[in-house]
Each structure stands twice: as structure tokens, then as C-alpha cells.
Amino acid sequence: SIERTFAIIKPNAVQNGNIGEIITAIEKDGFTIRGLRLTRLTPAICQGFYAEHVGKGFYPELENFMTESPVVLLCLERENAIARWREVMGATDPAKAAEGTLRKKFGESMGRNATHGSDSPASAAREVAYFFNAFDLA
């Protein structure tokens, strides 16, 4: 069925000038962009977004990275959007990501892995609503 998912183009990909190539890949794969915003996360906003990871060993590194420079936030719509976006991104660890995936191309490490995607319908609903209000979803 037609679903929406939430995506982030992470600070390393923005720094490296990869916004355009990642959005091109999104469009070529048949996603419709329903929300799109450039912003810089604060520590508090990052903690709310990654609430399930706060307290884990890697969280301080994750927060430092995600707040170091701007990110692009996206709401993406497509048939089977949640699973398909995860396929397009590839594995969380770029070293394990399949050839041709975004994390393989643009990821630098487990942390600096270029993109984020929601992992379930419940996460997608929460994450879209966390960053976008109804007026910003076309």
C-alpha cells in the first residue's frame, strides 16, 4: 500500500555536497517528496528524535555528529515506502551496505552513514510528526 516514511540526509552527506544526488536517487526510485526542510538539529531535538538510543554507548557520538551541521529532513511517499527506502539506503554500516546503495556510495562509517530511514510504520508516523506539521506536508 501507499505509505509515508521519514528520511534524513545527515550532516556528512550535506557537507560533502551530496544533497542533490541523494534527492535524485529518491525521485528516480519513484518516491514522491511530501515534506522537505533544511535545518540544524539541537541536542534537545536530537534527544527527542533518537529517544530509544539516548543512554546507549554510541549516543554521545551520534548526537555530536547529528548536531554538527545542517541536515535535510524529508517525508517520502511511495508503495511500500518504509521497506523500499531502507533498501535504497542499504545496511546501517556502509562497509556492509550493498553495491549501489546510498550508504555504500556516501557513507563513511557506522555513525557518518549519510542517511536515516524509519524502521517501522509506528516509527515513520512518529518521526514524520516530530519534524513536520500538517501544513508542511504537501
Binding-site residues for ATP sit at 10, 58, 86, 92, 103, 113
Choose among 61, 53, 52, 79: nearest CA to 10: 61
User: Judged by CB, which is closer to ligand CMP: 78, or 116?
Assistant: 116
Which residue among the candidates 116, 124, 127, 128 is catalytic per the annotation?
A: 116
Residues near ligand CMP, by CB under 6 A: 53, 58, 61-62, 92, 110-111, 113, 116
User: Judged by CB, which is closer to ligand CMP: 19, or 110?
Assistant: 110
6: which 3 cell numbers?
521519514
135: which 3 cell numbers?
501544513
Instruction: Give yes or no for a contact between 7 and 117, defined as CB atoms under 8 angstroms apart.
Output: yes
**Burial degree of 60 (CB within 10 A; 0-12, 13-18, 19+):** exposed
Q: How far is the CB of 73 from ligand CMP (least distance, A)?
A: 12
User: Judged by CB, which is closer to ligand CMP: 58, or 138?
Assistant: 58
Q: How far is the CB of 110 from ligand CMP (least distance, A)?
A: 5
Q: Is 116 a catalytic residue?
A: yes
Which position has the grid cell 516509527? 123
Catalytic residue ranges: 116
